[in-house]
Structure formats: structure tokens, C-alpha cells
Amino acid sequence: MIKYKLEVDYILDTNILLIYLRDKYISRTINEKYQSLIFPNSSVISVVTVGELKSIALQNNWGAGKINQLQQFINHFLIADINVESIVNRYAEIDAFSQGKLKGKPLGVSSRNMGKNDLWIAATASVLNIPLITIDKDFLHLDNKFLKLDFFDMGLI
């Protein structure tokens, strides 16, 4: 069996993609720090992120043109599936850890109730072993324990 190494620099949280879609100034600032995140095949997103973005489009009654633009934007990225045993297992570990209930790995702070979609994204980043770029502080307790977090602080802009 041939194994392939994923040659990408980052996995992007949903909120980073929303910034790209909504705020050109902040997206330029992010690009200055990370080079071009949306250059084809330089970043990966979770299939969960695709679902979240499409849900946002439906909830906000986006028209056909804007939905088409969203799909073209999504097409710039490699999309990681979550129907992979190692990602499912890591999801369970991260969820138990975040609740302070993972044997042999104490949380050290009060339990964290992460959103289920965030857990999937974190598990994917962890298994792929690539940094997760986010503005969401809910991931901070996982940094250097399950994944490499690259937290983009919006307060510094």
C-alpha cells in the first residue's frame, strides 16, 4: 500500500474562511502573516467547515450567485473527510479531555464545552498534524496537547 504525505501548511477553521468571505481588509492582514492561505492546495479545510458554510448561506438566504461564489471559494481547498477511524478516535479523546475525563491526561482547568463541529475540526488537525488557524479561543486548551494552534488575535488588528 502506498501512503501519501499531505503537503499543506495549515487547516483553517470556519471562522477564518468567513473572514475571507466578509472582510477584505482583515483577510489581507491574515495573508500578510501566513502568505496566501487560499492559494490552491496550500491549506485544507474539514468537510465540517463546508457544511457550516453552506448552512450559513441557507440561513442567510444567499442567492444563486453568492452560493456559486461560495462553492468556487471552497474549491480552492483540499477537503478532509471525517469518516476516518483515526479522526473518529481522536474526536473521542479530545472530547473526553475537554471534559476533564480522559484517563492519564488531566485537563488542569475547568471543563470546556466545545461545539461538536469544533471537535471534528480539532480532531482533523490533530490527526493530519498540521497547524489549525483560528480566531476561536475554544481551541486554546488543546494547543501543544493535541494539536498545534495558530491563534489569530483579532484584537491586534
| pLDDT score of 2 | 42
Sheet containing strand 10-12, edge to edge, reads 78-80, 43-46, 10-12, 132-134, 149-151
| pLDDT score of 32 | 80
Which pLDDT tens digits describe the chain residue by residue (157 residues)? 444 456 788 999 999 999 988 888 888 888 788 776 666 667 899 999 999 999 999 999 999 999 999 999 899 899 999 999 999 999 999 999 999 999 999 888 888 889 999 999 999 999 999 999 999 999 999 999 999 999 988 766 6
Whole-prediction pTM? 0.89
| pLDDT score of 28 | 83
The answer for residues whose C-beta is within 8 angstroms of residue 40's C-beta and 6 or more apart is 76
The grid cell for 135 is 480566531
Q: Are 131 and 10 in contact (CB under 8 A)?
A: yes
Within a 10 A sphere around the Cβ of 30, how many other Cβ atoms?
22
Domain boundaries, the chain: 16-80, 82-149
Q: Are 150 and 10 in contact (CB under 8 A)?
A: yes
The grid cell for 31 is 495573508
Measure the CA dihedral 53/54/55/59, to 10°: 100
| pLDDT score of 132 | 97
Q: 78 - beta bridge partners?
A: 44
Report d(CA 151, CA 141) in Å as an integer.
12
| pLDDT score of 40 | 60
